[in-house]
Amino acid sequence: MQYPLKFISKTDDKALTTDALTLASVVERLLFLDSDETLVENGFLAENSLADLAEVYMSDLLGDHVSQQYDNTFPSVAELLKTPAPTKALKVPSDKDDVCHLLDSDSYTLNVMNLERALRRDYYILDSFVILYCVEGVGRIAYGDKSELMRKSDVFVVPADLHEVTLVPSANMCLLELYIPTKEKE
pLDDT of residue 185: 39
pLDDT band at 19 (very low <50, low <70, confident <90, very high): low
pLDDT digits (tens, 9 = 90+) for 77-102: 877 776 544 444 455 555 545 555 55
**pTM score, two decimals?**
0.85
Q: Which residues pair with 119 in a beta bridge?
A: 167
Of residues 15 and 58, more confidently modeled: 58
Q: On the CB side of 9, how many CA atoms lie within 13 Å of its CA?
A: 24
Domain residue spans in the chain? 5-179
Beta strand 154-158 with 119-122 is unpaired
State which CATH number among 3.90.550.10, 2.30.30.230, 2.60.40.3880, 2.60.120.10 fits the domain covering 5-179: 2.60.120.10
List C-alpha distances in Å: 77 to 27, 95, 146, 179: 7, 29, 28, 11
Using one digit for the tens of pLDDT, what is the confidence trace for 110-147? 888 889 999 999 999 999 999 999 988 999 999 999 99
Which of 41-55, 70-84, 162-176 is predicted with the least confidence, judged by mean pLDDT? 70-84
Distances in Å between the alpha carbon of 30 and those of 56, 73, 81, 101, 159? 22, 17, 10, 19, 16
Contact 89, 22 (CB under 8 A): yes
